[in-house]
Amino acid sequence: MSGANNDVMVILPGVVVAATALVVFMADTLVGGRKWVLPWIAAAGLIVAAGVATAQWIDVGAIGSVWDFVSGSGSGLFGGGTAESGFASMVALDKFAYYCTLLFCVIGVLTIMLSDAYMKKRRDAMGEFYGLLLLVITGMIGMAISIDVIALFVAFELMSLPTYVLAGFIRGDERSGEAAIKYFINGAFSSAILLFGLALLYAATGQTNYASIAAGLNNLGADAQSGLVIVALVLVAVGFGFKIAAVPFHWWAPDVYEGAPTPVTAFMSVGIKAGAFVGFLKLFTVAVISAPEVWTAILTILAVLTMIVGNALALPQRNLKRMLAYSSIAHAGYILLGLIAVGAGNVSVGASGERVLDTSGSSAVLFYLGAYAFMNIGAFGILVWIRNRRAFRYTLDEVAGLARSMPWTAIAMTLFMLSLTGIPPLIGFWGKLYLFTAIVNAGMTWLAVLAVIMSAVSAYYYLRVVWYMYFREAPGVAPAGAGAAEAGAVQAGAVEAGATVAGAPVTVGAAGALETGAGAAAAEATLVADDAGPAVGSAAAVVIASLGVLVLGLYPSPLISAAQGALRVLLGG
């Protein structure tokens, strides 16, 4: 199963994305003033990569997955199956990898569209932005295909390093620079801890390949519970916890999410989290599945703390970016339930002594990552869009009266908030349903009860946004000026509605009229609306995200079957 052809085939989607990144970097110096082509090149590269992954998915048909090894259907990593590994079993193709590649490409395209509003003002930095974004996505794809701790660590760093730069992308801005340095120090610290954990795992088993580590731990027998393995797993879990911002390793997240440019924040909260989750899902459920008690216990502690603290800290936030940052921490806690479900209940011994791995927990994780991508990118997209239309400091007070001034935006935001809360029939509901079902089936009902209670708590801060948008007047309106403010708001609303229908550009004057009329934050208005015209791409990203939340919510079966198909175990059909 080796040979140059196979090697390249295995990493082909990643190669396409990385090559596109290089093309973007080069094109940046060649296109002169026509920088607008760069996002199109980047998006085209991602679409080609997604196409390659889809073609491979169809081509390989009913192959097995890395989990076949765990299920005992064969002696090798792929059972007797036909799945392909490359580079001396460093990376492997399976449906799991395809699903993740597709998901990452969708996240990437949505982020590129979303950044339209933001990059319009920074045309000279477009090459770096899109190139680095593509490199992060390459790293994320690497996380999904790696089946060796060396490949995992390289992918982990490839995913992390460009993100540090993206977080500090607004040069000269103190908050952005602070976000970058905080993210860098915490990220590099967690990488080192993860690396030490992986090294100890190597010390315990003498192997770096997932399947060989699993076999090595099996051979250790009772020694698999030894101090060395436990310390290794704790360190790996700490490195992982940092990356997904699980409590108590979350302290960097709110500052970084607030200081980074909003499109980057959207990408970090969704993309980096998805990349980390799929990489460690594979590590935990393939390599160290023999010691499930240890890592399940560690992750359970993390999940409980993350759900409680994340939701509790989100409650008082009045800055929407910070609120979404803490809520993103809480969501990491929900997703952890899927991982715990794999370890807690589902590694049972079958009739003939083979290990049977139920995949419902893993597929719930994959489904939730897809669902979360749509609703969270959408929510951040709304912030980008409002910021594109008028002065906006991301505070709760500023969205008061939004239902009147920007009715469509308010409807979309309501959709995302309801979906994040988990209200049926939106996609967030199905995501939570699958996660909670998986954890109940794994026999940890108390964890599901806690998660449901915490979801109810989260309704407070999500629905408060909706309440402000619909039932609060715009702030700073003196009684005498109320008429003028309403006139301005109605005018701007009318213009926005017009723009939505006819696609006509909204004049800066109308946005200005709203600002003057409402007097919104005029006293401290060092921020002005981005005056580069309406960002069509950002609006389109929000529209696609809301369609995703709504349509996939009403008709979730394609995404569900994709998530389940990604994990189909050969033996069980």
* Contacting positions for other proteins (CB under 8 A): 149-150, 153-154, 157, 161, 164-165, 168, 171-175, 177-182, 184-185, 188-189, 191-193, 195-196, 199-200, 202-203, 206-208, 254-255, 258-259, 317, 322
Question: 166 near 260, Cβ under 8 Å?
Answer: yes
- Among 89, 552, 519, smallest CA distance to 287 is for 89
Residue 182 or 250 having the CB closest to other proteins: 182
User: Least separation, in Å, of the C-beta of 179 and other proteins?
Assistant: 8
CB of 395 to other proteins, least distance (A): 13
Q: Which is nearer to other proteins, 203 or 551 (CB)?
A: 203
User: Which class for 524: exposed (0-12), middle (13-18), buried (19 or more C-beta within 10 A)?
Assistant: exposed
* Cβ burial, residue 161 (10 Å; 0-12/13-18/19+): middle
Residue 243: CB minimum distance to other proteins, A: 15
Closest among 206, 114, 121 to 533, alpha carbons compared: 121
Report CA dihedral (116, 119, 124, 126) to the nearest 10 degrees.
-60
Task: Please say which residue, 290 or 317, places its beta carbon nearer to other proteins.
Answer: 317
The span from the CA of 168 to the CA of 189, in Å, is 18
Q: SS3 letters for 55-85?
A: HHHHHHCCCCCCHHHHHCCCCCCCCCCCCCE
Q: Least distance from C-beta 159 to other proteins, angstroms?
A: 12
The nearest distance, CB 520 to other proteins, in angstroms, is: 23
Nearest to 248 by CA among 193, 198, 183, 303: 303
Nearer to other proteins, 121 or 171 (CB): 171
Give the residue with the Cβ less far from other proteins, 151 or 420. 151
Residue with tokens 């910070």: 322
- Nearer to other proteins by C-beta: 65 or 208? 208
- What is the nearest approach in angstroms of other proteins to the Cβ of residue 20? 20
Residue 555: CB minimum distance to other proteins, A: 40
- H or E segment to which residue 91 belongs: strand 91-92
Provide the minimum distance between the beta carbon of 180 and other proteins in the complex, in angstroms, as a whole number. 5
Place of tokens 């250790």: 220
Dist CA 192 CA 209 (whole Å):
20
Q: How far is the CB of 386 from other proteins (least distance, A)?
A: 20
Tokens of 246: 């699980």
Q: Please, which residue, 164 or 416, has the CB nearer to other proteins?
A: 164
> Residue 13 or 259: which CB sits closer to other proteins?
259
Residue indicated by tokens 């049926």: 424
Helices (H), 345-477: 360-389, 402-405, 407-421, 427-441, 445-471
59 neighbors 12 (Cβ within 8 angstroms): no
Please say which residue, 39 or 187, places its beta carbon nearer to other proteins.
Answer: 187
Q: How far is the CB of 104 from other proteins (least distance, A)?
A: 21
Q: Of the two residues 252 and 408, which places its CB atom closer to other proteins in the complex?
A: 252
Cβ neighbours around 292 below 10 Å, total: 18
Question: CB of 37 within 8 A of CB of 31?
Answer: yes
* Residue (25 or 202) nearer to other proteins, CB: 202
Contact, 329 vs 245, CB < 8 A? yes
Can you list the positions of beta strands (E) in 161-289?
Answer: none
CB contact burial 195-204 (16+ within 10 A = b; e otherwise): bbbbebbbeb
Q: Which is nearer to other proteins, 203 or 494 (CB)?
A: 203
Nearest to other proteins of 26, 203 (CB atom): 203
Separation of alpha carbons 197 and 363, rounded Å: 26
Nearest distance from C-beta of residue 343 to other proteins, angstroms: 26
Least gap, CB of 276 to other proteins (angstroms): 17
**Least separation in angstroms between CB 199 and other proteins:** 5
Quote the CA–CA distance of 145 and 155 in Å, as a whole number.
9
481 CB-contact burial (10 Å; exposed 0-12 / middle 13-18 / buried 19+): middle
Is residue 538 a contact partner of residue 117, using CB atoms and an 8 Å limit? Answer: yes
